[in-house]
């Protein structure tokens, strides 16, 4: 796989996103709810970057900001070294074709009155492919690559199974030859056997197209096979980022360790008597009223007075392995 600065196709620099908190009869702004907190990363060509964290931690909001659906509150999003906010309208249109999205809700991501053929043909029309025969040839090619027969072209979304809809959604992305795919929990609604099939298919397509994939998930077991680099998000902040092999072999942040212990495996099933997660009871804190100091301290069994007094600085414990914890070196 390519490495180095020249292979970076997308990068984020200190991206943040907050929403106003309104109270009272006149709905005056009483504060800010920060959902994404200073996220920075690079995505290289042909690589998979996994963003992992529990529901409500800010993963999907970050994707919406990167897609331009919502405006960021701070930081920069760079595509091939260019700040997306200073791009011309034509450059932004081109970027949107090169950056495609696989949604978690496959049924909701398709128009209910459009057949598979119409759904796959629409992005080709928008991208300027005027020839009907050329569009059809592309559609048949991408359908074959995701393992769907041309017989599915006349079917509607409700006539497909969850796995078939996910394959059709991937085919729709491939139709415009993207460079980057954002995948928001693409297999969470599928059973285990279908999850493995879709992950293997994404890996094969990545090799064929040299795709860069930003894969969002809440389970470290899901991304183990496909991820090159993993970022762990908690309360909108990246608390640990490292090559996948180091996350699974030398996790340093207590939250990452808890996620690893929660991930089922062949050797450790959900009914295993040793299946325990070392977290204090409780849910994610309210982003409008985050804990002082370390964001994770209210759920961390190793928290000390220092954790309440001061926010930890990012610590690089090994090359490209960064941890947001006072005790990362221990």
pLDDT tens figures, 79-91:
999 999 899 988 9
> Coil, strand or helix: which one is 240?
strand
Reply yes or no on whether the pLDDT at 73 is more than 70.
yes
* Segment holding 137, helix H or strand E: helix 132-145
What is the reported pLDDT for 173? 94
The CATH topology of domain 5-21+30-323 is Rossmann fold (3.40.50)
Sheet holding 229-234, edge to edge: 99-102, 180-184, 212-217, 48-52, 229-234, 237-243, 321-323, 315-318
**Would you say residue 61 has pLDDT above 80?**
yes
| Confidence (pLDDT) at 37 | 96
Give residue 284's pLDDT.
85
Q: Is the pTM of this model over 0.85?
A: yes
Q: Residue 276 has what pLDDT?
A: 47
Going from the C-alpha of 297 to that of each of 8, 41, 196, 301, the distances in angstroms are 34, 24, 35, 8
- The confidence band for 268, taking pLDDT boundaries of 50, 70 and 90, is very low
Separation of alpha carbons 211 and 203, rounded Å: 9
Range of weakest confidence among 105-109, 224-228, 230-234 = 105-109
Encode pLDDT of 4-40 as tens digits.
Answer: 445 899 999 999 999 999 888 888 988 899 999 999 9
- pLDDT at position 29 is 87
pLDDT one-digit tens code per residue, 123-153: 999 888 889 899 999 999 999 999 999 999 9
pLDDT of residue 2: 44
Per-domain boundaries in the chain: 5-21+30-323
Rg (CA), the chain: 21
Decide which of 324 and 277 is more confident. 324
* Cβ pair 12, 76 in contact under 8 A: yes
User: What pLDDT sits at residue 99?
Assistant: 94
């Amino acid at each position: 796989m390519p490495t180095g600065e020249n292979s970076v196709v997308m990068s984020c620099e200190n991206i943040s996103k907050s929403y106003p908190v309104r109270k009272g009869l006149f709905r005056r702004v009483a504060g800010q709810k920060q959902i994404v907190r200073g996220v920075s990363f690079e995505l290289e060509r042909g690589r998979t970057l996994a963003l992992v964290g529990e529901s409500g931690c800010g993963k999907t909001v970050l994707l919406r900001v990167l897609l331009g659906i919502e405006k960021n509150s701070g930081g920069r999003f760079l595509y091939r070294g260019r700040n997306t906010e200073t791009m011309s309208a034509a450059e932004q249109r081109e970027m949107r074709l090169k950056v495609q999205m696989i949604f978690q809700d496959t049924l909701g991501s398709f128009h209910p009155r459009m057949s598979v053929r119409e759904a796959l043909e629409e992005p080709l029309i928008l991208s300027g492919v005027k020839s009907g025969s050329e569009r059809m040839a592309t559609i048949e090619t991408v359908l074959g690559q995701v393992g769907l027969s041309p017989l599915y072209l006349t079917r509607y979304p409700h006539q497909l199974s969850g796995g078939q809809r996910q394959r059709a959604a991937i085919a729709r992305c491939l139709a415009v030859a993207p460079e980057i795919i954002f995948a928001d929990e693409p297999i969470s609604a599928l059973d285990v056997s279908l999850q493995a099939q879709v992950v293997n298919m994404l890996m094969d397509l990545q090799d064929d197209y040299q795709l860069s994939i930003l894969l969002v998930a809440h389970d470290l077991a899901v991304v183990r096979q496909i991820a090159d680099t993993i970022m762990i998000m908690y309360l909108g902040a990246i608390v640990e980022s490292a090559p996948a092999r180091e996350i699974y072999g030398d996790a340093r942040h207590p939250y990452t360790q808890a996620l690893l212990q929660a991930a089922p495996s062949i050797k450790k099933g959900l009914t295993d008597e040793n299946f325990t997660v070392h977290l204090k009871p409780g849910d994610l804190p309210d982003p409008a009223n985050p804990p002082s100091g370390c964001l994770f301290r209210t759920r961390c069994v190793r928290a000390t007075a220092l954790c309440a007094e001061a926010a930890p600085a990012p610590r690089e414990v090994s090359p490209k392995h960064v941890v947001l914890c006072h005790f990362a070196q221990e």
